[in-house]
């Protein structure tokens, strides 16, 4: 088996067929599709079973609702492919994406491909994982679904059950087990913008989990990465008033432009605590209900 495609399924009647069809229309033969019905309360369990009857590539797992991480983990546990990839059931894949990726992955452990209107990538191979992390700003696109992974990377890695932003926890663990990663301009993952999704509706406690994932991932940090985390820290402090956990750092302001340059200058001059207070005050006047 060359590729295992794991699709968690929960409350997605309207988009499930589109997702599965996009996967089955890939120009590959040696693959399996693992549909993990995560206790979906709608018609999805029946739809999954009907798809399995229609196409021999499809296997179905039914389990009590445990969340996205538990569903992905269930798929990993039974996957038979040399490689593993994930698709969320409200998203879909452009035609012929997987064929070109599997052809190009070579001896690399991970290949990452574009996300429509969210992420463009250059054709490049990185044997230095730290360089990949900082040069591509991978910390801003730790998405599980726009990558193909050598399945052996998951030998002792699973997604954290009960956590949001689970990708941010898991991707660094996989990178630390990888010898090389390829980025490519080929193929495309189509992400369905969900105004009710975690990313769009994350509150202070959930953003606190995201910040924690980044601060304990063991990956290198430069000034641009730090500023990325500073934005999360300011939102966490504004919404929760929890103690500031981001370590103090003085930034090289000459690498930034526009608002980021002003933010870096303010940080160096005023300190992180004062900057958090100013950020909260600005939001209070601009959006009092926030």
pLDDT range class, residue 288, cuts 50, 70, 90: low
- At 208, list the tokens: 């606190």
Candidates 181, 121, 125; CA nearest to 149 is: 181
Rounded to whole angstroms, the Cα distance separating 280 from 290 reads: 10
Average pLDDT for 165-173: 97
Domain boundaries, the chain: 3-190, 221-286
Residues in the chain: 290
Candidates 207, 200, 213, 199; CA nearest to 242 is: 207
- Location of structure tokens 């495609």: 5
Rounded to whole angstroms, the Cα distance separating 83 from 102 reads: 9
> In the predicted model, is pLDDT for residue 195 greater than 80?
no
Q: To 5 degrees, how large is the angle CA 240–CA 245–CA 247?
A: 145
- Location of structure tokens 């000034």: 223
> What's the whole-number average pLDDT of the chain?
95
Residues 60-99: tens digit of each pLDDT: 999 999 999 999 999 999 999 999 999 999 999 999 999 9
| Partners of 84 in beta bridges | 4, 149
Neighbour count for residue 77 (Cβ, 10 Å): 12
pLDDT range class, residue 199, cuts 50, 70, 90: low
Q: What is the CA radius of gyration of the chain?
A: 20
Task: Give kind and range of the element (H or E) at residue 210.
Answer: helix 204-215
* pLDDT at site 201: 59
- At 65, list the tokens: 């609702």
Its pTM stands at: 0.95
Residues 6+ apart with CB under 8 A from 39: 10, 62, 63, 64, 65, 66
pLDDT range class, residue 202, cuts 50, 70, 90: confident
% pLDDT > 90, the chain: 92
Residues 238-266: tens digit of each pLDDT: 999 999 999 999 999 999 999 999 999 99
Rounded to whole angstroms, the Cα distance separating 155 from 228 reads: 31
- Location of structure tokens 């500023």: 227
Contact 84, 6 (CB under 8 A): yes
* pLDDT at site 287: 72
Average pLDDT for 5-27: 97
Give the architecture-level CATH label for domain 3-190: Alpha-Beta Complex (3.90)
């Amino acid at each position: 088996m060359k590729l295992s495609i794991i699709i968690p399924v929960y409350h997605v009647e309207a988009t499930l067929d589109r997702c599965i069809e996009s996967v089955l229309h890939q120009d590959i033969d040696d693959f399996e599709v693992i549909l993990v019905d995560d206790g979906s309360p709608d018609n999805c369990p029946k739809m999954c079973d009907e798809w399995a009857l229609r196409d021999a590539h499809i296997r179905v797992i039914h389990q009590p609702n445990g969340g996205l991480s538990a569903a992905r983990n269930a798929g990993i546990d039974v996957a038979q492919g040399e490689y593993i990839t994930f698709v969320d059931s409200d998203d879909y894949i452009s035609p012929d994406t997987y064929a070109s990726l599997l052809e190009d992955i070579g001896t690399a452990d991970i290949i990452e491909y574009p996300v429509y209107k969210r992420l463009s990538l250059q054709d490049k191979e990185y044997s230095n994982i730290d360089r990949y992390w900082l040069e591509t700003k991978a910390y801003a696109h730790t998405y599980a679904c726009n990558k193909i992974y050598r399945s052996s990377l998951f030998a002792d890695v699973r997604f954290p059950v009960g956590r949001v932003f689970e990708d941010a926890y898991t991707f660094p663990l996989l990178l630390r087990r990888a010898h090389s990663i390829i980025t490519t301009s080929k193929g495309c993952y189509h992400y369905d913008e969900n105004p009710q999704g975690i990313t769009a509706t994350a509150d202070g406690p959930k953003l606190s989990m995201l910040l924690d994932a980044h601060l304990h991932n063991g990956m290198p940090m430069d000034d641009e990465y730090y500023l990325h985390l500073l934005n999360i820290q300011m939102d966490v402090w504004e919404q929760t008033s929890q103690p500031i956990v981001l370590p103090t750092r003085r930034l090289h302001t000459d690498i930034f432009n526009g608002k980021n340059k002003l933010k870096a200058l303010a940080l160096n001059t005023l300190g992180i605590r004062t900057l958090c207070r100013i950020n909260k005050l600005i939001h209070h006047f601009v959006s009092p209900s926030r």
